[in-house]
Structure 1
């Protein structure tokens, strides 16, 4: 069973992921004080959302998930949940592809003196070929252990940035540092990036199911520790890099780093992290997309008769045969056995054909998703746009809007404080969603 430590690593790695890279840019957009305040607010709401999900899961037990909670509280919203989780998984996988595409040319250039390897589409093509086979694995258990390696790599990147700020005399900060900025379209459309950085709500159910002692107080303690750790890492990385580069900071701050051995190590580690994390996002994304498609297309194109029904039918037929004649029991028994074997054979063949067809469709869908992430990544989409769009839509829906609705519609014993907080969290989530979408649609 999972220990509290492994659950902590799982949640923390899911939270910080690629979102940590965007925090220096958030400090540039909002200023030091405003960014810290907004990070605290979104972190508190995200942690509250996790806690509300755990409260609603107590009666259902270890089998609880977002879909099952929706069936109990808001059955009409089940398809919205599938869409939200798919968008979150696809968006995160896309961000991994974009980050890898921006770092791979410098990584290859450090080892090979070949101009072709600095061409982004070619580099990213090699990356896709290398990681794609892992996406088709039936079980991802082996890849889950990379969460710890990924977390260590991210911590190394954070420590490297602090080291540069404290000891690298070659970096001169000639850019102004802002403590607060006036609201504008950039200010509004960046709110979703904060939400994106604290979203690990799809993984909380996995932790809840596997943790040996998953009592509500223990889950609450885990949520608080994870949220506080994420806040500390974000602030350490964001502040140190913003103080180094000021208004010159990019949405992927690793591109600001000078070309040296330390930067080469950081880039290499982050490419490895993106590579092993990509299948873990795209595979569940494929599953949720299949749930959506199954509402419109019948992938189970053959009716399967349950074994229990076959056994009942065979038993009735057996009784009828035995009632007609008691002289030919042996002959009729052989006939019934033959009928039973034929039905079971048909049952097994039908199940195999159905599973084979569905597996074929899943592979096609997964291939399309891999190609889409590659095409979008090489098109030059900005990492900040992905964070903002996914954060405002799928992440906000999963971490703020849904938990509030679940709690307010559930039959659990409610407190006044959590009820009021749920309403505020719901309204804040809707505000982030609307302002980000409207701001992104406004042309500069």
Structure 2
């Protein structure tokens, strides 16, 4: 099976490369010889690991607020909207040269002067999530040590959160300096094994029924209150956030054919949705309305539950480099950003730098990708990110409120608003980039035999209405994302005011 998949990937990649060469030759440009090396499976593993995190443990609490029926529907709906955002990203990547896809590159040909804002939001979001991972490690490790050895309290540094944050930073630093996301596939496998253990732990206790004595009331259809529903909604929405790494995966995957990237998205989101629904329902049925935010902490202290806490530590430890990767690329893009002006060319958009970046062979290099950063710049940016995240994790014991606001804005922006706006803008029939892509696609169809060309021409006409609907849906996704952002921010403000 492995050899069969390799042959399929290799043939697909060669086909894509030949199409890329034909497009550049028709433009009279130097062909782009960039080719990805990551397999479909490793791409799925990295994307699933980016999606599934410690938020899995809060799905049961979300179920208690929404009820099983509404909770399940919201989990599936959130997965569907997240998948649509990823799909739009894969569509947008077609407008860029192979291996150059990024939010920065897209903003350069759609909203050039807003590029710095988009990348700054991504950098802040990824930095905040990375810091939260370090804080989780510091909070859980003393309990893990005590679970394995009750006498560990006699050694003060073993139950000190600062000590464990420092120890685990020494582990993640080498991983954070890896240039390619595909290099993290093995650590992602370990992280997914940890998630698998947590799922088995929750399902096992549910099947065993050892939590029924203290179980609260079960809501199947009825929800707690509108406020509680709004409180849990952002948790589920943000649990699917992985869009910051999607462009890196599209750049690195060996076969980037549309059907392969679509199956990649469906498999990743589908796997995450299955885990969330399974853990949410079985965890909620185990404890009812008595369930807490971290379900593992509710089980009777034992070796199994202690291993569960250790699994969470392993999960977030190996997820930290997955946040450093897009954060570094976005910081680099922010530092390189310069305002776009059209005065030198008489205000003609056809000769703008953004168009030249798309069509000129002299600038057809990866934009805002980790591979394009010089060694010194790469090392400096990575070091600054690591040092700042370490200092923040050591000085702040809880980032709940900060992450609530950063997540409401950053996660919603990169999951819904940016993919929707970018595709709506770049797929405009009057857009020069869209017209160029159509010409390339027509040229690819004409380069085949007559029958294939006729079929391609007929299918092109029949799919026009589908592209129109897709463009409208992309705008709807952006509007939906703006709505979610407003609701989440309002909810956070209300809860903060109530807390005081």
Can you give the 5+ residue segments of structure 1 that lack an aligned partner in the other structure?
297-353
Superimposed CA distance per residue, residues 353-401 of structure 1 (whole angstroms, 9 cap, x where no aligned partner): x97688557634531222113323xx2344xx57644442111101110
8 Å CA contact retained: 2:49, 2:319: no
Name the structure 1 match of 2:321. 279
1:134 aligns with 2:174: yes
- Which deviates more, 268-277 or 124-133? 124-133
1:146 aligns with 2:182: no
d(CA) in 2 for partners of 1:295, 1:208: 23
d(CA) in 2 for partners of 1:358, 1:53: 25
Q: Give the one of 461, 476, 484 matched to 1:424.
A: 476
Q: Return the offset for 1:405.
A: 0.4
Change (3 A) 1:358 1:264: closer
8 Å CA contact retained: 2:145, 2:159: no
- Which deviates more, 107-116 or 232-241? 107-116
Name the structure 2 match of 1:403. 419
1:60 aligns with 2:80: no
- Which deviates more, 225-234 or 104-113? 104-113
Superimposed CA distance per residue, residues 27-46 of structure 1 (whole angstroms, 9 cap, x where no aligned partner): 12222112112122221111
Q: Give the one of 392, 398, 405 matched to 1:380.
A: 398
Name the structure 2 match of 1:204. 246
1:101 aligns with 2:138: yes
Change (3 A) 1:138 1:426: closer
Q: Give the one of 381, 384, 387 matched to 1:367.
A: 387
Trace 1:289-328 onto structure 2 (pairs within 5 A). 289-292=331-334
Instruction: State the secondary structure of the residue aligned to 2:492.
Output: helix
Q: Return the offset for 1:127.
A: 3.7
Q: Return the offset for 1:181.
A: 1.9
8 Å CA contact retained: 2:413, 2:481: yes
Instruction: State the secondary structure of the residue aligned to 1:176.
Output: coil
Superimposed CA distance per residue, residues 88-142 of structure 1 (whole angstroms, 9 cap, x where no aligned partner): 3123213322322332122111344232256453454444553364366364665
Name the structure 2 match of 1:74. 111
Q: Return the offset for 1:48.
A: 0.8
Change (3 A) 1:147 1:133: closer
d(CA) in 2 for partners of 1:129, 1:228: 32
Name the structure 1 match of 2:268. 226
Q: Return the offset for 1:290.
A: 5.0
Instruction: State the secondary structure of the residue aligned to 1:198.
Output: coil
d(CA) in 2 for partners of 1:81, 1:117: 41
Name the structure 1 match of 2:42. 6
Change (3 A) 1:236 1:390: farther
Change (3 A) 1:408 1:18: same
Superimposed CA distance per residue, residues 270-298 of structure 1 (whole angstroms, 9 cap, x where no aligned partner): 212222322332354244335446669xx
Q: Return the offset for 1:85.
A: 1.5
Alignment RMSD, CA only? 2.7
8 Å CA contact retained: 2:126, 2:323: yes
d(CA) in 2 for partners of 1:390, 1:191: 15
8 Å CA contact retained: 2:45, 2:185: no
Superimposed CA distance per residue, residues 314-346 of structure 1 (whole angstroms, 9 cap, x where no aligned partner): xxxxxxxxxxxxxxxxxxxxxxxxxxxxxxxxx
8 Å CA contact retained: 1:19, 1:387: no
Name the structure 1 match of 2:291. 249
* Runs of 4+ deviating beyond 6 Å: none
8 Å CA contact retained: 1:18, 1:95: no
Structure number with bigger Rg: 1
d(CA) in 2 for partners of 1:255, 1:46: 29
Change (3 A) 1:280 1:57: closer
Task: State how many pairs are aligned.
Answer: 383
1:114 aligns with 2:152: yes
Q: Give the one of 213, 221, 232 matched to 1:190.
A: 232
Superimposed CA distance per residue, residues 9-37 of structure 1 (whole angstroms, 9 cap, x where no aligned partner): 11111111222122112112222112112
Q: Which has the higher contact order (CA 8 A, sep 6+)?
A: 1
Instruction: State the secondary structure of the residue aligned to 2:242.
Output: coil
8 Å CA contact retained: 1:201, 1:398: yes
Name the structure 2 match of 1:433. 485
Can you give the 5+ residue segments of structure 2 that lack an aligned partner in the other structure?
1-36, 339-373, 428-433, 435-463
Q: Give the one of 281, 303, 306 matched to 1:261.
A: 303
8 Å CA contact retained: 2:141, 2:159: no
Name the structure 2 match of 1:17. 53
Change (3 A) 1:120 1:292: farther
Name the structure 1 match of 2:278. 236
8 Å CA contact retained: 2:214, 2:287: yes
Change (3 A) 1:129 1:69: closer
Instruction: State the secondary structure of the residue aligned to 2:243.
Output: coil
